[in-house]
Every structure is written in C-alpha cells, then in structure tokens.
C-alpha cells in the first residue's frame, strides 16, 4: 500500500495549523497546494471569461476550462464530454435535475429515495412531488443498503424517478449501483435513476457507463477541489429534456421579444447559464490531476485501512464507553456516540480542547433516525493526510472526554 507519510506537507492547512487533526473529510476535504495555486493562477494569469473568446487570453481560458471538462469525462468514464455540466455543487445539480424534470411528473407518479439521503437529495424531490402532486416513497433497505431483491415489490408503473446516494454520508454502506440500476430498468426501463455521488466520488470508482444510471452529481470540494464547483452528468437525451434552472447569458443563442422565448444552445452550455466559477473549475482540474497522480485506488485503500484501524482501536480501548454504528463497512467514515453523552458536546470538546475536528449531529441526513434509531452522532472520516497517530490521539482524547463528560 502507498505510503502517505508526507501527505500532511502537501496541504498548506497543516502549515497554518500544525497541531490540528482534521477528521471532517466527509463534510469537505482540505486542499493541496496545486489546487490553491491553480485558483490563484486563473486570476493572475488568465482572468478572462471563457464565454467570450475574442481575445487570445479568453481563448486560452476557454481551452483550459474545457480541458477540465475532459478530465471529468475521463474520471467518471462518461461517453460524451458534452454530458459534463459544471454546477455549483451536488445541491445545485440535484436541484437542476428535479426542476428540469417537472414536466415528467403527473399527479400520482412516484419518486423513490432512501431515508439515508442528505437533505440535498430529499428536499428538491419533496418540492417536485408537492408541486406536481407526485408521491414520495422510500426504497426498501437491508443491512443499511438498498434491498435489491425487494425492489420488485415496491416499484410500480407509476414510478418515474429513483434516487439514492451510492455511498450515504453517515453510515457509508455502499449501494451496488449497477445491480440496482439493472433491476430497476428490468422492472421498468423508463425509470430515471439519479445517483448522488457526493460521498462516493472519493471512496469508490465512479463509472457511469458501467453503472447505467441516468444522472449523477457530485461536488469538487469533497475531492480536494474548491468549494462552489460540482458536476452534473446525465445521458445526452435526458440532459436535452431538462428545463434549464438558470436562464441568462451563455445558455441561449437568440431571444425573441415577440413571443418571449429563447433558443437554447447545445449541451453543455444550455445548462450552464451565467458566468461559471472559472477559478474554481481551474482548481477542480488541479484536484483531478492530484487524484490521478496518486491514484484513486491508492487513496481508497489507504483511507479504508485507517477505518479498519480505527475500528480495532475503538474496540480495544473504548468498547464499554462508545457505540459505533457502522463498524462493518470499509468506507472510511466512522460514526459513534459516547454512551449517554450528547454528540455535539463530544464534538465541541474534541474541537476546542483537543484540536481534533470532527462533526456532530444528523449530518444533514435528517431522516436518519428512522434507520439507526439515533438522530445525532459524532462522525469522523479519513483520507490521505490522516494517519494512525491521528487515530491514537483521537482515542486518547475520547477517553479523557468520556471521563469528563460522563461525569457532568
């Protein structure tokens, strides 16, 4: 397995916070130097808007911008580069899909999701269902994963959309996307399958052609890239049917003031109205270079090894004091509670006293209480700049906080 001993030196965050242990990677990862440089480079060296290629500089900006789209295409194994739509993030992508599909939903039509979804993959669908008098339903689960064998019992001819995270952001049990898609399409080939890859994109290989799903979405900031950048990928014929969420510059060829209509540009421009986050997209390109250089497989196996180590350390040192909710998945997310202590007290103590950044609460997956019978947990998540020493320090800190908080 690759040695990431030097990884902390690649991330300027640790120069500024040498004593901080950062375990909130599921919320957002830190950024390596090359990503930070690429963002600055755009402003210092390119500065122009890629929508206007009149000047040489604007042309260079447009070329570099489109190179990033190509890198994304390779990264997710998309058949067409025009199918890569830049967005502001996962939330923006899902809102575009849900808004764009409203003509599809008739009263009584069903939209299926899971109770482990992040709010970003719940609320746009709730709104769609309410506005179109559709129905929200929940997919059957077994051992925290979508139960493929039970799909047949719940999916009906009224089912129009099925959406789920390939790796949900609390428990992290991976759903078998190709098998789920195959099953759904066998039951009804017209079902549109939307996969939220916000967490999964750094924890598993994304392969849209292998998966057969119709749309996927993810955010750059959870994969060492900048905030405010994301990707919506969809099959060409479906992207062409989406009603654009953002109307304005860059997405139209002509405006007709007589009948108040416009002529849409071809993909991807028609779904990218407005000046894009150019610096962020340059930074995203650098993040993809960074991941490709290290190798996604190496990142995944190293992060998973830390999860396995954390589970053994929790078992060995904290067994009586701590409940772990997701020991049995390799995904590098571990959620726990100190018995009888509120998760936010734990997170605040770890964060302010021990300089260990963790996350508490329901992690925006507000329906999770229906799945694990506990709404609030402490979440830690691992990536390349974490190491066993970080986990040892966390275990010691939890022991200390358990003694203190348990006495309150």
Ligand X SMILES: Cc1ncc(COP(=O)(O)O)c(C=O)c1O
User: Looking at 165, 281, 299, 303, which residue binds ligand X (CB under 6 A)?
Assistant: 165
Tokens of 42: 């755009």
- For residue 210, give the nearest of 80, 300, 85, 78 by alpha carbon: 78
Beta carbon of residue 227, minimum distance to ligand X (angstroms, whole number): 8
Site mask, ligand X, residues 209-238, x = CB under 6 A?
A: ----------x-x-----------------
Nearer to ligand X, 199 or 329 (CB): 199
Beta carbon of residue 33, minimum distance to ligand X (angstroms, whole number): 22
Q: How are strands ordered across the β-sheet holding 322-324? A: 322-324, 333-338, 377-381, 359-361
CA dihedral 172, 175, 177, 179 (to 10 degrees): 160
Q: How many helices (H) and strands (E) does the chain have?
A: 14, 17
Beta carbon of residue 277, minimum distance to ligand X (angstroms, whole number): 13
Is 90 near ligand X (CB under 6 A)?
yes
Is 196 near ligand X (CB under 6 A)?
yes
Is 175 near ligand X (CB under 6 A)?
no
Which helix (H) or strand (E) segment holds residue 60: the answer is helix 56-76
Nearer to ligand X, 198 or 213 (CB): 198
Q: Is there a cis peptide before residue 343, judged by omega within 30 degrees of 0?
A: no
Is 383 near ligand X (CB under 6 A)?
no
Q: Which of residues 69-88 bind ligand X (CB under 6 A)?
A: none
**Looking up tokens 């899971």, which residue turns up?**
114
Beta carbon of residue 164, minimum distance to ligand X (angstroms, whole number): 10
Q: Is there a cis peptide before residue 268, judged by omega within 30 degrees of 0?
A: yes
Q: Which of residues 2-61 bind ligand X (CB under 6 A)?
A: 27
Beta carbon of residue 206, minimum distance to ligand X (angstroms, whole number): 13
Q: Choose, from 132, 197, 270, 364, the residue flagged as catalytic.
A: 364
Q: Give residues with Cβ within 8 angstroms of 193, minimum separation 6.
A: 161, 162, 163, 180, 181, 184, 185, 212, 213, 214, 215
> Is 364 marked active-site?
yes
**Looking up tokens 């808007």, which residue turns up?**
49
- For residue 76, give the nearest of 190, 172, 207 by alpha carbon: 207
Nearer to ligand X, 88 or 105 (CB): 88
Site mask, ligand X, residues 95-134, x = CB under 6 A?
A: -----------------------x-xx-------------
Known catalytic residues? 364
Which residues sit at the interface with ligand X, rule CB under 6 A?
27, 89-91, 118, 120-121, 165, 169, 196, 198-199, 219, 221, 364
């Amino acid at each position: 397995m690759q040695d990431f001993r030097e990884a902390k030196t690649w991330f300027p965050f640790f120069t500024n916070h040498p004593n901080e242990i950062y375990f909130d990677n599921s919320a957002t990862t830190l950024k390596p130097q090359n990503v930070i440089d690429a963002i600055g480079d755009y402003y210092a060296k390119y500065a122009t808007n890629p929508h206007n290629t009149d000047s040489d500089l604007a042309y260079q900006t447009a070329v570099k911008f489109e190179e990033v789209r190509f890198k994304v295409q390779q990264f997710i194994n998309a058949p067409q580069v025009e199918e890569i739509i830049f967005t502001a993030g996962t939330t923006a992508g899902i809102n575009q899909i849900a808004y764009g599909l409203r003509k599809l939903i008739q009263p009584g039509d069903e939209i299926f999701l899971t109770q482990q979804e992040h709010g970003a993959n719940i609320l746009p669908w709730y709104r769609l269902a309410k506005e179109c008098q559709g129905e929200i339903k929940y997919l059957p689960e077994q051992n925290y994963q979508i139960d493929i064998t039970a799909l047949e019992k719940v999916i009906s001819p009224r089912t129009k959309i099925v959406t789920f995270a390939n790796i949900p952001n609390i428990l992290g049990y991976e759903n078998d996307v190709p098998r789920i898609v195959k099953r759904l399409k066998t039951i009804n080939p017209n079902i549109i399958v939307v996969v939220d890859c916000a967490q999964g994109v750094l924890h598993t290989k994304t392969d849209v052609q292998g998966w057969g799903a119709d749309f996927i979405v993810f955010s750059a900031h959870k994969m060492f890239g900048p905030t405010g950048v994301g990707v919506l990928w969809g099959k060409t014929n479906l992207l062409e049917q989406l009603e654009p969420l953002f109307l304005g510059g860059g997405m139209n060829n002509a405006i007709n003031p007589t009948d108040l209509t416009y002529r849409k540009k071809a993909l991807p421009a028609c779904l990218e109205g407005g000046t894009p986050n150019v610096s962020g997209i340059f930074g995203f390109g650098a993040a993809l270079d960074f991941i490709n250089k290290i190798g996604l497989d190496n990142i995944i196996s190293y992060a998973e090894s830390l999860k396995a180590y954390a589970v053994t350390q929790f078992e060995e040192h904290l067994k009586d004091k701590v409940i772990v909710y997701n020991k049995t998945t390799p995904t590098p997310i571990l959620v726990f509670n100190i018995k009888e202590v509120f998760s936010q007290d734990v997170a605040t103590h770890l964060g302010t006293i021990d300089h260990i950044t963790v996350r508490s609460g329901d992690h925006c997956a507000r329906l999770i209480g229906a799945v694990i019978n506990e709404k609030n947990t402490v979440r830690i998540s691992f990536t390349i700049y974490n190491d066993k020493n970080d986990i040892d320090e966390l275990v010691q800190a939890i022991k200390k906080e358990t003694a203190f908080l348990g006495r309150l």
